[in-house]
Amino acid sequence: MKVLIHYEDNDDSDLHKSLKITLPKSWKTGPTSKLIGQFVETYNGNETLGTANPLDEASLHLAIRRSDDGGNSHLVDLASDAVVLDVIPDRADVY
């Protein structure tokens, strides 16, 4: 299972980042909070990004884009204790 996590919660596009993660088997049945933790570790470990805009794992959440019946898309928040396999499809874009 692969996911692409995007961080775009900043007006400065130089601080945006996308991270492609191939999930270990054990993560598929684990909480989505593991994805946040991995992303924050990678982001803050980047000399430029982590210094300019350090992220705090506790203040972040994940969301996935869904389309309604009218074809309009919107972001739906994911609970940090939700099981990855239950709420994130393979090759999904997660925000």
Residues 6+ apart with CB under 8 A from 79: 32, 87
How far is it, in rounded angstroms, from Cα 45 to Cα 43?
Answer: 5
pLDDT tens digit string along 47-61? Answer: 989 999 999 999 999
pTM: 0.84
What is the CB neighbour count within 10 angstroms for residue 72?
Answer: 8
pLDDT tens digit string along 9-47? Answer: 888 999 999 999 999 988 899 999 999 999 999 999 999
How far is it, in rounded angstroms, from Cα 40 to Cα 49?
Answer: 11
